[in-house]
Structure 1
């Protein structure tokens, strides 16, 4: 039992540390662009990078941040861990992205990393989330609204798929943190001042 919890804690720490590596900050520095924390929404994420007009840079960031969640959870899947334990690892990746130790605990909003970890945890569930996000984005044009709706509905998908209070509870907490990180966007949506994706 102690060994199992040691493995889980180790994987959570690894997930948190990998989650703390921010793709948008790294790629912006490597390719000579402004730090995303200095313009637009000041959020170090793919959506804010689109404000530079550089879709390639934003794509690199999006893929990198998704891969953080995918890689950690994918390898955790080879171990004898329960669904509850794997969702805890998913959450550790997201917490790393949102509260990164490498950037004074000020990170992104966790959407891409959350979607990546969910995709590795359950490819059907993850695909439903991505389709939901893309559909909402296509209809309304707001990345923030797409994320809020996706993670608001996620706990319902998880509950009816796994019928587990523990698994659902972790997903509720993860979703709540991601939605909370969009609090400024929610205010902007209410005030009709939120920028649509790709607009400066």
Structure 2
């Protein structure tokens, strides 16, 4: 399904009264791919990426420009998607609070969120952005607690639809994740759960 985040629910914003969380550095494999993404973008557009959500629009353009090259050389998708997906995932990790599982092949990587029960593979998202199609086995979909799936689905169904070209872009995926995170946090507060913290062990 394709969703648009432009429904009045803005991106997730941290509470200014709370100190920002202290996040550990990303795993070395993720950091290396983020550096590669920054290098690709800087080489093509002359602009440095700084790890903030605002830079995802530039990554969107890089994805658009890379699609033809990936179509001509399908073997290049592993390198490009790895770099773009790692950068997208790291932007999300810093914005929302999450933990990487980045061991083994890229199809097994996951981003585990800390404040809500939500996980997925950002590299799978990048592969879909580059080909405008789903990639079975790459887990780009949002993995939720079964008790939240129906409510989240209904929340996303209320968002105006967009075409696949826009839906698969990194910035759109970020905005959709932001809406889901805010929705789940509000649901937890309404249930009186307070400050819930999930670790990687909760996802296994």
**TM-score normalised to structure 2 length:** 0.33
Give the structure with the larger strand fraction: 2
**TM-score normalised to structure 1 length:** 0.33
